[in-house]
Amino acid sequence: MRDALQPQDGLYTVLERGPHGAGATVIGTLSDIAFAQDDPFALLARFTDPAIRLVTLTVTSSGYCLDSATERLAAHHPDIQRDLHASLPTSALGILVGGLARVHKAGRRPPVVMSCDNLPRNGRVLRQAAVDYAALFDDELAGWIASSVQFPCSMVDRITPATTEADMTDAAETLGVFDAAPVCTEPFRQWVIEDFAGPRPAWEVAGAEFVPDVTPWEASKLRLLNGTHMAIAYLGSLAGLQTVAEFLEDPVFAAYALRFMLTEQRPTLPPSRHDIDAYAHQLLQRWRNPDIAHQLSRVGRNGSEKLQPRLLASVQENLEAGRSAPCTLLAVAAWICCASERVGHGHAAETQDPLIERMHALGAAAGNDAERLTALALEMEDVFGCYLPRVEAFRTDLTQAVGNLQRKGPRAAIAALLADSNQDLR
Ligand code: CS2
């Protein structure tokens, strides 16, 4: 037997870890690998293979190079600019549009293109981004993509922390062969896909659901799971914690997470027959999984791009409906403190974000003045848009939340918030 798996083996290990035990599965669905950064041509050429009926993307929201205010392609994005000046593209959008251009030129039927990323209306957004990209050099291609390619929406849910050395050792001990890239995951998995026309694998046999409209699943996942993840990432880092499970161990933080989901995010979800109460409690259980070390630093990456769909959109809807959203504002305030490194009595931790230099600069300019820090942050139209920063109640409450976090630290700020809202309920 060989001692290590090789990419050409097409195998990878999935380590499933849960409160009821662990298991390892070897997945053998990969039949070939083309790595675009090394050989973009190989990937582009695959598009015209008539056997390719589906192209799926799992590249995280940053991989779409979008302008967060308009959700359209940001043509000035460095990755897009680099593509436009190179002989072959290397961005995800560039490869996709370049591949579709080859299919169009060859007069072939296009593949179905499916986004598996955490973006609201991911299929629609991807279609528009692909059309925008094509229109940069070929209007006819842009029109063909818009009218002939199917871009179904989908919602994928499975918590998978970054692979660690320990995961590699575990995989090697379990299998007797070294795998440099095992995937460690929780037992839970869900994939909901918008119906589309044409042949496809029988994914439903493995539990995927095909539905006419993904919106209710997508909205509850983005606002409850991903939105709360962001709140946990920034408030937890300020509290000096490392993982999501550690955050949930503290009853004050757990009560905050539940209140955030049920009182502030739930009223903003589209009407559906889904049991949101049960979903929120199931999330708490999943996050508490002691065998999954989901790092806060990873969950909090690229917050400036995720704030709008996961937190700010619901703040706006709540304010417009006359509801307050103190838990959400505290999460947004925690991002401002972490990214600007103005943490007051909280713990400092490195935050990874494309806007980190701007955030550091405004942190330096604001010093310890919470009002100035908030005002400077709200000038970032690409993060906050132009509507919310003009709403007086939003500005005042956010400034207060930033000040509270800096003065009291996250735990005391949350305890005070919970005590206040309990008072309101009496
Ligand atoms: C997380 C997600 O990092 C993040 O943005 O919220 O990766 C989350 O773990 C997955 O969406 C779970 O399905």
Residues 6+ apart with CB under 8 A from 225: 157, 283
Give 209's strand partners: 192
**For residue 331, how many other CB atoms are within 10 A of its CB?**
27
List, for residues 110-166, the tens digit of each pLDDT value. Answer: 999 999 999 999 999 999 999 999 999 999 999 999 999 999 999 999 999 999 999
Å from CA of 299 to ligand 1 middle: 7
For the segment 73-97, the average pLDDT, to the nearest whole number, is 95
**Which ligand 1 atom is nearest residue 294's CA?**
9
Å from CA of 190 to ligand 1 middle: 13
Q: Confirm if 162 and 125 have CB atoms less than 8 A apart.
A: no
Report DSSP letters for 246-315, one per residue.
Answer: HHHHSHHHHHHHHHIIIIIIGGGSPP-S--HHHHHHHHHHHHH-TT---BHHHHTTTHHHHHIIIIIHHH
User: Which residues are near ligand 1 (CB < 6 Å)?
Assistant: 118, 157-159, 225-226, 229, 299
Between 195 and 29, name the one with better pLDDT.
195
Taken in order of first residue, the domains within the chain and their CATH numbers are 1-33+153-210 (no CATH), 36-150 (3.40.50.720), 215-425 (1.10.1040.10)
Please give the helix or strand (H or E) that residue 17 lies within, else none: strand 12-18
**Model confidence at 230: pLDDT above 60:** yes
**Which ligand 1 atom is nearest residue 299's CA?**
3
**Which ligand 1 atom is nearest residue 225's CA?**
6
Give, using CA atoms, the residue closest to atom 8 of ligand 1.
159
Q: Could you tell me how many helices (H) and strands (E) the chain has, helices first?
A: 20, 10
CA 51, 90, 96: angle at the middle one, nearest 5? 40
Å from CA of 100 to ligand 1 middle: 29
Mean per-residue pLDDT of the chain: 94
Read off the pTM: 0.95
Å from CA of 159 to ligand 1 middle: 6
Give 175's strand partners: none
Confidence of residue 14 (pLDDT cuts 50, 70, 90): very high
pLDDT-wise least confident of 33-37, 108-112, 268-272, 384-388 = 33-37
**Model confidence at 423: pLDDT above 70:** no
Beta strand extents in 83-124 (DSSP E only): 112-115
Distance CA 7, CA 11 (A): 7
Confidence of residue 426 (pLDDT cuts 50, 70, 90): very low
Tell me what pLDDT residue 202 has: 95
For the segment 157-184, the average pLDDT, to the nearest whole number, is 92
Q: Confirm if 300 and 234 have CB atoms less than 8 A apart.
A: yes
List, for residues 396-407, the tens digit of each pLDDT value. Answer: 999 999 999 999
Please give the helix or strand (H or E) that residue 366 lies within, else none: helix 356-366
Å from CA of 251 to ligand 1 middle: 23
Å from CA of 6 to ligand 1 middle: 28
Q: Confirm if 261 and 224 have CB atoms less than 8 A apart.
A: yes
Which of 160, 223, 229 for a ligand 1 pocket mutation test, highest count of atoms within 8 Å of Cβ?
A: 229
Give, using CA atoms, the residue closest to atom 5 of ligand 1.
299
Tell me what pLDDT residue 5 has: 86
289: nearest Cα among 184, 179, 170, 166: 184
Residue whose pair of structure tokens reads 């604001």 in the numeric block? 366
For the segment 379-391, the average pLDDT, to the nearest whole number, is 95
List, for residues 292-342, the tens digit of each pLDDT value. Answer: 999 999 999 999 999 999 999 999 999 999 999 999 999 999 999 999 999
Tell me what pLDDT residue 175 has: 85
Give, using CA atoms, the residue closest to atom 2 of ligand 1.
226
Show the DSSP H helices in 16-91 as ranges.
Answer: 40-46, 78-84
Å from CA of 214 to ligand 1 middle: 18
Which residue type sits at 178?
F
- Token readout for 120 is 């609201």
Between 154 and 7, name the one with better pLDDT.
154
**Model confidence at 107: pLDDT above 90:** yes
Q: Confirm if 178 and 9 have CB atoms less than 8 A apart.
A: no
**Which ligand 1 atom is nearest residue 229's CA?**
6
pLDDT > 70: percent of the chain: 98
Give, using CA atoms, the residue closest to atom 13 of ligand 1.
157
Q: Confirm if 227 and 269 have CB atoms less than 8 A apart.
A: no
Strand pairing report for 190-194 and 209-211: parallel
Which of 64, 159, 296 for a ligand 1 pocket mutation test, highest count of atoms within 8 Å of Cβ?
A: 159
Give, using CA atoms, the residue closest to atom 10 of ligand 1.
159
List, for residues 240-292, the tens digit of each pLDDT value. Answer: 999 999 999 999 999 999 999 999 999 999 999 999 999 999 999 999 999 99
Confidence of residue 22 (pLDDT cuts 50, 70, 90): confident
**Model confidence at 60: pLDDT above 90:** yes
287: nearest Cα among 325, 241, 318, 323: 241
**Which ligand 1 atom is nearest residue 298's CA?**
3
Å from CA of 245 to ligand 1 middle: 14
265: nearest Cα among 313, 217, 297: 313
**Model confidence at 236: pLDDT above 50:** yes
315: nearest Cα among 388, 386, 383, 215: 388
Give, using CA atoms, the residue closest to atom 4 of ligand 1.
299
Confidence of residue 424 (pLDDT cuts 50, 70, 90): low
CA 375, 314, 250: angle at the middle one, nearest 5? 85
**Which ligand 1 atom is nearest residue 118's CA?**
11
Tell me what pLDDT residue 140 has: 98
For the segment 77-100, the average pLDDT, to the nearest whole number, is 96
Using H for helix, E for strand and C for coil, what is the string for 155-166? EEECCCCCCCHH
What separation in angstroms does the CA of 145 have from each of 72, 140, 214? 15, 9, 22
DSSP state of 351: -
Å from CA of 294 to ligand 1 middle: 10
List, for residues 197-210, the tens digit of each pLDDT value. Answer: 999 999 999 999 99
**Model confidence at 387: pLDDT above 60:** yes
Confidence of residue 2 (pLDDT cuts 50, 70, 90): low
**Which ligand 1 atom is nearest residue 158's CA?**
13
Residue whose pair of structure tokens reads 């991989």 in the numeric block? 63
List, for residues 360-374, the tens digit of each pLDDT value. Answer: 999 999 999 999 999
Q: Confirm if 117 and 59 have CB atoms less than 8 A apart.
A: yes
